[in-house]
Each structure stands twice: as C-alpha cells, then as structure tokens.
Amino acid sequence: MLDTEIREYIAYLSIERGSSPLTVSAYERDLKRYAAFLEAQGIASLERIDRDAVLAYEAELVASGLAPSTIERRVSAIKGFHRFLVRENIAAKNPTDSLRLPKVPETLPDVLSVEQVERMLSQPFDDSATGLRDRAILEVLYGCGLRVSELTGLDLGSLLLDEGFVRVVGKGSKERIAPIAGAAETALRAYLDRGRAELAKPYAKPTSAVFLNARGGRLTRQSAHAIVARAGLSIGVENLHPHTLRHSFATHLLGGGADLRVIQEILGHSDISTTQIYTHVDRAHIHDEYISAHPRARCRE
C-alpha cells in the first residue's frame, strides 16, 4: 500500500525541492514504516486514512521510546506527504490538517571551550600526508563552521584561498561562501602543497576532491568522523562529533562579538531562528561562569 504515492513524493523531494540525499532517504524510510503500520491496521486505501489513524501511529512512536526529535521528523514526513497528495489531486483530504507536531524539548548543542579547541589544535601532528590532512580537516571544520558532508564534498575548484573564501554546497544543494583565514588557511595550504599529491596515488582514479583517503579517493563522512573522534580523545573528550566543532565555531564567534546574521550567512541557515540557539548557548556559558566566579553568586541571604 502507498508504494506508488511514496515513490512520487520522494521524487518530488529529490528533484523539485532539491532535498539532500540523506533527508530523502530518511523520509522514504519513515513513510514506508507509516505505510506498514496502516496496512497492519487493515487500512488498505488512501480514503480510509483519517486523523485517528495518524494519531494512533504517533502514539505507537511515542510508546516505542523513540527520541522526541525522531518522532517529530517522522510526523513531519507524514504531514508533508499528505499535503503533497492533496496538492497533486491524488487524495481528496488531508488527515493531518489539524495535527500539531509533537513538542520537542529544546536542547542546547554541545560545544568545546576555546581552551579545549586550542589544546586539540596545538597538539603535534606528524608531517606525513595523512597528518597534514587531518590537521587541515580539524582546522577547516572549526575555522569555517562546515558540516562534515560539506567538508568531504569540497572540490579543488571550490577553494578561493587568495580571496579568503571557500565555496560550499550545503543542504538542498544551496551554495554559499564561507570565509577562511589564519590557522585554517595555513593548515589547508600546507596539506595542498605537501600532502594531497602524495595521497593522490598514480593508480587511483583522478578526483577533484580536496580531502583524500589513503587510496587517493574522496574521503568519506565516516572517515572524517573517525579523524575528529580521535582528536577528541587527545583532549579527553569521547565521541567528539564534527558538528560539535561547527557548534563551537558559531558559539565562539558570537562570544567574540560577531553579528548573529553574519553567523547565519556563514553557517548557511535559511532561518535566523536556527542560528539563535547559539545565543542560548552563550547565555548559559555566561551564567555558569558567573556562578563559579562571583563570590556572592551562591550566597542566599
């Protein structure tokens, strides 16, 4: 059931909306689970899907112990799917019209302190091709605020180092320019000058990718994750994620006085409200520092 409709919606997301492959894949899985649930409930046609059926599915998601953010994404996929069906005249009604998305508790992103970042990036890296590459990866992730997929997707033609920028393709294939300077630029130039050519083995298929693996091919997201995780262990942080470096970049920029809209542009957020979470991070940091440092902050008279 719904196989044809799901395929049409996924094609719409991919081709017309330009959604990222990861988003498209996640929505497809979510909708197939939804279809399987409806089938198990004996609902065999679009006309029989009503609000109660959707609420029953949401209740099952909650009962299964999934994270609130996962439930929100799955319900969001269903709402978008049914809106599409009505808009394309595939279905006569939208059973999710009056359905609200489940409330997701606000969580602040993990960030490293400036001191932790300095310790991680000032540690000695060996002068091999992979050592130069790994240092450049860490410096660029933190120095430019890139997502890991944006980092591994960088091509040589994306680098405008003489102008102080890199051209980034972000979510939804949207292109933006991110500034690069200082240690990030220095580390990237060192890798390009002395490391990349060694990794681009003669027997490897030529690639325009900036960051290469030991076989001369484009570095995968998984490999970049592993490089960051190893660097985290060097400063006592387990399971350090590339996105934590992106969050740290934004938080440290804000703490240094950067305008929120400038940070929004650099990160590639389409909505300023997405960027505003970093103001909460900064306030939380200020509050913690105040509590620990002020002699009367903990005094209750």
pLDDT, residue 170, reads 81
- On whether both 7 and 127 belong to a single domain, the answer is no
230 confidence band (pLDDT: 50, 70, 90): very high
293 confidence band (pLDDT: 50, 70, 90): low
pLDDT, residue 213, reads 94
- Average pLDDT score, the chain: 86
Whether 269 is catalytic: yes
pLDDT per residue as tens digits for the range 135-162: 999 999 999 999 999 999 999 999 999 9
End residue of a domain, out of 87, 104, 133: 87
Selecting among 32, 83, 171, 241, the annotated active-site residue is 171
CA distance 64 to 48: 24
pLDDT per residue as tens digits for the range 165-199: 999 988 777 888 888 989 999 999 999 999 999 99
Residue in the structure block whose two tokens are 């394309």: 88
CA distance 184 to 297: 39
Q: What is the mean pLDDT of residues 203-224?
A: 90
End residue of a domain, out of 51, 70, 87: 87
- On whether both 167 and 218 belong to a single domain, the answer is yes
- On whether both 176 and 141 belong to a single domain, the answer is yes
Whether 243 is catalytic: yes
The answer to whether residue 297 is domain-embedded is: no
Q: Which residues have CB under 8 Å from 76's CB, separation 6+?
A: 101
Structure token pair of residue 19? 């959604």
The answer to whether residue 219 is domain-embedded is: yes
pLDDT over 80 (residue 296): no
Tell me whether residue 134 is exposed, middle or buried, using C-beta atoms within 10 angstroms of its C-beta: 0 to 12, 13 to 18, 19 or more: buried
Whether 51 is catalytic: no
Q: What is the mean pLDDT of residues 9-32?
A: 89
Whether 247 is catalytic: no
Selecting among 278, 285, 287, 298, the annotated active-site residue is 278
Sign, Cα dihedral of 111, 113, 118, 119: negative
- On whether both 12 and 134 belong to a single domain, the answer is no
- On whether both 285 and 148 belong to a single domain, the answer is yes
List, as one string, the DSSP characters of 212-228. Answer: B-TTSSBPPHHHHHHHH
pLDDT, residue 299, reads 59
Q: How many residues does the chain have?
A: 301
289 confidence band (pLDDT: 50, 70, 90): low
- Higher pLDDT among residues 102 and 286, named by residue: 102
Q: What is the mean pLDDT of residues 44-50?
A: 86
Whether 174 is catalytic: no
- On whether both 41 and 128 belong to a single domain, the answer is no
pLDDT, residue 222, reads 93
Q: Which domain holds residue 154?
A: 114-291
Selecting among 133, 196, 246, 252, the annotated active-site residue is 246
pTM reported for the whole predicted model: 0.62
CA distance 166 to 187: 14
Selecting among 147, 196, 247, 252, the annotated active-site residue is 147
